[in-house]
Amino acid sequence: MVLKGGFEGYSIPIDSPLYPGPPWLYWDVEAVITLVVFKKETVEPLLPEGVSPAGGDPLGAVWIARYPTTTLGPYNEVLIAIQVEGDFGLAYYIPYIYVTNDAALAAGREVAGAPKKIASIDIRQEGSTVVGWAERGGMSIEAHVKLEYKVDEAFISGLLPDEGVPLLSLRLLPRIGETPGLAQMILWKSKVFFNRKLGSISALGGPSKVVLRGSIEDPIDRIEVKEIVQGLYARFDMELDVDRVVREWRV
């Protein structure tokens, strides 16, 4: 798309785009990742048509990260991901995600359909425990990982394969007057490249806990954690890319 003045850009405003197109690149990411099992009955209502929790009570994650250097600018992020399945295969559906940067928010919503909102997010260390947290109004998320051991590389490779982790979200172009809106299920991908700043292997782990407090505007407590599988603290580089539209509806 080109303006009369000859300007052309990937996103609006076209003469001075808010963000570049994917893939988006990240260096020196710091992340607190808690792997969990969610209760199926609490996540099912949040999934789009044609998407089911994988294997009964699905695996999932609470991901809190600090991104000091990216092609979208520096920002922090927290998200909840649920392992799902459909005719697209296995992926992780993202019902809630929060960031601290307007370019990251707009790019996520407009391109990938990630339902990003702005929140206060950070990571801190308290003794041997790393804490990731987010707050927005009455909503808060906390993830605590006590650093007790190095995590086996085979476990990391299974969790974050070289070909990337498939992510799924729902992009919505709302109805205007009598003009129908459009909903699209978008498949995108996260590739992680470990820089081994923590030593000979890629991550540290230990006992973990997660606290999800919802609010009227952000009812994240609709989702219930059945059990915690593993807490991780890691540093790495990352690439996010958008793959394809897998389904769409007029709304």
CATH number for the domain including 173? 2.40.400.10
> Hey, which residues does 148 pair with through a beta bridge?
none
Burial of residue 216 (number of CB atoms within 10 Å: 0-12, 13-18, 19+): exposed
Q: Is residue 41 part of a domain?
A: yes
Q: Is residue 16 part of a domain?
A: no
Answer whether residue 196 shows pLDDT above 60. no
Q: Is residue 44 part of a domain?
A: yes
pTM of the predicted model, to two decimals?
Answer: 0.94
Q: What is the pLDDT of residues 33-57, one digit of tens each?
A: 999 999 999 999 999 999 999 989 9
Q: How many CB atoms lie within 10 A of CB 192?
A: 20
Answer whether residue 200 shows pLDDT above 90. no
What's the domain count of the chain? Answer: 1
- Residue 8 binned pLDDT confidence (cut-offs 50, 70, 90): confident
Q: Is residue 14 part of a domain?
A: no
Answer whether residue 199 shows pLDDT above 90. no
Q: Is residue 43 part of a domain?
A: yes
pLDDT of 224 = 97
In angstroms, the CA 66 to CA 238 distance is 12
pLDDT of 162 = 80
> What is the bridge-based pairing of β-strands 89-99 and 116-118?
parallel
Q: What is the pLDDT of residues 68-124, one digit of tens each?
A: 999 999 999 999 999 999 999 999 999 999 999 999 999 999 999 999 999 999 999
Structural domain that includes position 99: 27-250
Q: Is residue 121 part of a domain?
A: yes
Q: Is residue 15 part of a domain?
A: no
C-alpha triplet 165, 167, 170: angle, nearest 5° = 175
Q: Is residue 2 part of a domain?
A: no
> Hey, which residues does 248 pair with through a beta bridge?
184
pLDDT of 5 = 85
Least reliable range by pLDDT among 71-80, 176-185, 187-196, 211-220? 187-196
How far apart, in Å, do the first and last CA atoms of the chain sit? 26
Answer whether residue 181 shows pLDDT above 70. yes
Per-chain mean pLDDT for the chain: 93
Q: What integer is the mean pLDDT of 134-140?
A: 97
